[in-house]
Structure formats: C-alpha cells, structure tokens
Structure 1
Amino acid sequence: MPELSWTLPVARWSFWSSASEIPPDVAFVDPMMRRRLSSLSRMALKVAGDCVDAQTRMRVVFASRHGELRRTTDILRDIEAGKPVSPTAFSLSVLNAMSGLFGIARHDRSAATAVSAGAETLGYALLEAHAQRSDEPAGPILIVYADEPADARYGAIEQEVQRGALALLLDAGEAAQGQLACSVMPDAHAHQHGPKFATQSEALHHCLSTGECAAWDGNGGTWQWSWHAGTA
C-alpha cells in the first residue's frame, strides 16, 4: 500500500447511529418513494438531507461495503421459495440505489459515484472525493456513507461494519468549517496519533465530533484522520 495524504474542506457533516431511538427523518422525500425505502436508504438520505439545501446542485460519492445486500437477500429467499420477485425490490437492490433516489428526490442530475472497497470503503470514498475535487475543483461534493451488517447466513465477516450513516459536504472558501486531513500509510511507516477504532466510520466520527486524531488499522496499512478548524 503506497503512502498517501490529502485534505478535504468540510462545510457540514451529519451522523446517524443505530443507537438512536428516533427513526431517520426523511420528510423531504415524496411519501410514495418514502414507503419503498430500505433501512439503509433511510439512514443515508437522512444524513445526506442534513448537509444540503434544496437549490444547490452537487456531485455525490456514495459508499457502502454491503449496500442493499439485505434487500438482495430477501429477493434470493423469495426465489428459493418459488415466490415472484418484486420489480421494485429488484430495481432498488443495487449498490447505488440511494444515490439514485437522492437525485430523484432533489431533481438533481449531477454525477454520482458509488464506492465499495471492503472494510476500507469509507476511506476510499474520501480519496475518490479528493480525486474529483482535484480534477474539477468547482462545485460542492457530498460524501455519503451508510452500512449495516450482512445477514447471518453469510457467516462471519472479517472487520464487519456497524449499522449507521455519515455524510460530509465538501465545499471550500467561506463555507468550510475546517479541513479534514486524511492519510494512509504502510504499517512499517505508520506513526499513531490518537486512539484506534474497530471501524473506519467510528474513527472518522470520533475525529469530526471531538476534533481529535483517530486511526484505524487495515490490511497492510493504517488510516488516520485529524481535524483542523477554520479555512485553509
């Protein structure tokens, strides 16, 4: 794994935890569409909605290790039982279903990218957003990460995710609240700053909510995040 480091200007961010007793509020979504949302899409759309206004058009980077795997698993169970497959359920079972629903709800046809990279999914979504900003600096980018553990029938999964969602709106200038510094280093070169966490989402949430450094150990490399308030 090569050593990489980059910074992202964060204007807003939002987090939703499965520990919350209040269901995700997605009132901005049309009621007809709202009834079709999975638990994953509800979480994702809730944090995404927290970070944007109705008028601004923006690119989206959606990240999820398992995506709509629960919906896909239900479809496979129906096939196994000889039941007909719902066309709606099938169309919403793809990884990037949330980004499509988000664009439809906002009438926004801006580009959307979906990222899935195992336990390192969130980290590579941040890197993808940085690459897009480097290629085309103008305009905000919304990063949305949402995940939930896979069904038990898939067996034990190494470095399994926690259920939850996180969104960051990247925008430079006066809109930025601060700079998120990201890095990934081979184990031999890693110097730990701050506590380590079991998942990338826990580490990043800790960094954003406390302003402290946080780290996560992957296969062959250590990811680290730090927060610097104010614009660059």
Structure 2
Amino acid sequence: MNIDFVVNRWAAWAPGVQTQAQWQAWAQAPWLPVGDDSPALSEVAPMQRRRIERLGRMAIQTAYWCQSAARDDLPMIFASRHGDVAGSLRLLESLVSEQALSPTGFGLSVHNAIAALYSIIENRTGNYLAVAGGAATPEVAMVEAAGLLADGADEVMVVCYDASLPDLYADFAEEPSAFHAWCWQVAAGDGSDAIGLSCGAGQASTEAPSALLPHNLDVLRWWLSGDRLLQARADASHWQWQRHG
C-alpha cells in the first residue's frame, strides 16, 4: 500500500510548545513535553468550553488554528491511540465503588466525543471520523484521509492527539506518553513537496522506535525536521514515511 499527500496547513499544541516557530525549533532538539497548562481555546464560548477536558481542548485548539475559515464541509479525522483514558478510568473507578455514573462524563468519554464537540460548536456539516489504530494510529489516520481524498474530497483535516497515561496503566505502556495534539490539512499530491506513506507486512525496520517520544509526536518531529525517512513497526506491519523532495 502506498499513498501520497501534501500538507497545506498545520498546527500543534503541547505544554511549552505552541507556535510554529517553537515547534520547528523543538524538532531540531526534541524533548518530551511536560506541564499542566492547557490551551486558552478562546474561540469557544465559556459555557461550552467548561465542558471540554484538557485533552479535548488541545485537539480542538489545533483544529481551530489549522481550519480554513470558509470551509464548513471539510471532512475531519480525529485520531488518538488512547483517547480520554483518564476519564474512562474515573468511570471504571466509579463502577468499582458502586457510585452512579455521570451521564455527561460518560458521554464525553467515548472516543468520538471530541470530534463531535468540535463539529457541534462549529456547525460543521462535513463527514468526521474518530479512529484508534494502536501503535500505528497516525498512519491509520492518514489511510482514512487517503480514502476520503480518493472519494472526491479536495482536502481533509487530520487531528492526532493523546494524553499521558495514568499511573495505573504504567506497566502496559509501550512508549513514552505526553499530552499533545497536532493537526494537518492535507490534499492529494505527488510533487516535490509531497509525503509518501507505505505499508508492508513482514518488512524489517532499520530504525529503532524513539525512546524519547510517543510515535504520534515522532511523526510530527520527523515532518518538521526535514529528514527524508521515518520507519515504524506496529504489530506485523512495517510503515515508512518518505519525503519526495
């Protein structure tokens, strides 16, 4: 499988790294973002904003920064490996202690909740998807985007985001974790500025996974750094990102 695309617009947010200049500098000397701050998300009315958890604020903030103001029909893909895992854990703890579940808390913990909130707030009429692809979540998001582009969409907004895992899940972590979100507005393309993504079964990767960053952030680092190749292995599949120019 091979797909090609161009990134027309982008934005990203993590504690301590928000502007494009900050992200470009970070990509040359990356570090794992840490901190408790959240985006201001001033684009959203206070009554709506107060319902959005920290992870959702990050994802929605990057969507606002990246969106085309004149487009309300742009297809969107919201991709997260773990989603609001902290909110889900709180619900499980309530069940264990035999407490009543909050309907609002439950509704906002489902995997498509952040995408739905953004769509409702912005009165978006376009298609949106919420995906989780395990270790290959950013790759799965781009495959979905390629499908929408092949179906006739001229552009697709892709939002990739994740949170730090709660301590309870530390023994199950396969990679570092950090609060972060990034958004690309992509279109089909195969010119010198295009990115290629390919997948094959059983191919051997020549690169070790990043010991510093979650894969989701490593993809952004690679794209900003100007490096030619990024290889990743997820389960039985080998993925390769390649810069054509």
Contact kept, 8 Å, 2:146 with 2:188, in 1: the verdict is no
CA RMSD of aligned residues (A): 2.5
Could you tell me which residue of structure 2 aligns to residue 79 of structure 1? 95
Is the contact between residue 184 and residue 221 of structure 1 (CA under 8 Å) also seen in structure 2?
yes
After TM superposition, the score normalised by the length of structure 2 is 0.79
Equivalent residues in 2 for 1:209-224, closer than 5 Å: 209-212=224-227, 213-224=229-240
Structural mapping, 1:107-122, within 5 Å: 107-122=123-138
Q: How many residues align?
A: 221
Alignment of 1:1-232 (within 5 A): 4-20=1-17, 23-57=38-72, 58-136=74-152, 138-154=153-169, 156-160=171-175, 162-163=177-178, 164-171=180-187, 178-188=193-203, 190=204, 192=206, 196-198=209-211, 199-212=214-227, 213-228=229-244
Q: Specify every segment of 5 or more residues in structure 1 that has no aligned partner in the other structure, as ranges.
A: none
**What CA distance in whole angstroms lies between the structure 2 residues aligned with 1:85 and 1:191?**
45
Normalising to structure 1: TM-score of the pair?
0.83
Q: Distance in 1 between matches of 2:71 and 2:81?
A: 28
- Maintained 8 Å contact 1:66/1:149: no
Task: Give the distance between the partners of 2:158 and 2:192, measured in 1 at CA.
Answer: 16
Assess if the C-alpha contact under 8 Å between 2:205 and 2:232 holds in 1: no
Gaps of 5+ in 2: 18-34
For the 8 Å contact 2:222–2:230, the answer to whether it is kept is yes
* 2: CA distance, partners of 1:125 / 1:151: 24
Q: Does the 8 Å contact 1:60/1:111 carry over to 2?
A: yes
- What SS does the corresponding residue of 2:172 show, helix, strand or coil? coil
In 1, Cα distance between equivalents of 2:126 and 2:118:
11
